[in-house]
Amino acid sequence: MRRRKRRNRITKGERLLYTAGALALVCSLIIQIFCGANIGSLNQTVEKLKYDITNQEKKNESLDMKVSELTSYDQIKDIVKEMGLEYNNDNIVVINNQ
């Protein structure tokens, strides 16, 4: 009697499962790459906005300093003299916000 050799064949169901698993692995890698690229792009945008905010804050500080210089008592006094007006302390009204 001869014994028949058994072949280890992969069934259709197993082949389908292996194919589905391989496709799922490839799809997950592709999604991970695209999401990583998207996150990198968002990080660049965030850094650019932070840089713009910092520059705007510096400009605002500079303008605040100019406003303080222009509203100083000496500056106002000089402008008043140039316009031919006089400084009268009795006409000054101080308003306190409380």
- Count of domains in the chain? 1
How deeply is 5 buried, as exposed, middle or buried, from its count of CB atoms within 10 A (0-12, 13-18, 19+)?
exposed
CB 87 within 8 A of CB 80: yes
Residue 16 three-state SS = helix
Q: Is the pTM of this model over 0.85?
A: no
Domain extent, residue 43, equals: 13-91
Classify residue 31: in a domain, yes or no: yes
Classify residue 98: in a domain, yes or no: no
Classify residue 8: in a domain, yes or no: no
Q: What is the pLDDT of residues 37-91, one digit of tens each?
A: 899 999 999 999 999 999 999 999 999 999 888 888 888 888 888 888 877 777 7
Closest by CA to 26, choosing from 36, 18, 37, is 18
Distance of CA 58 to the CA centre of its chain: 18
d(CA 43, CA 68): 38
Task: State the pLDDT at residue 45.
Answer: 95
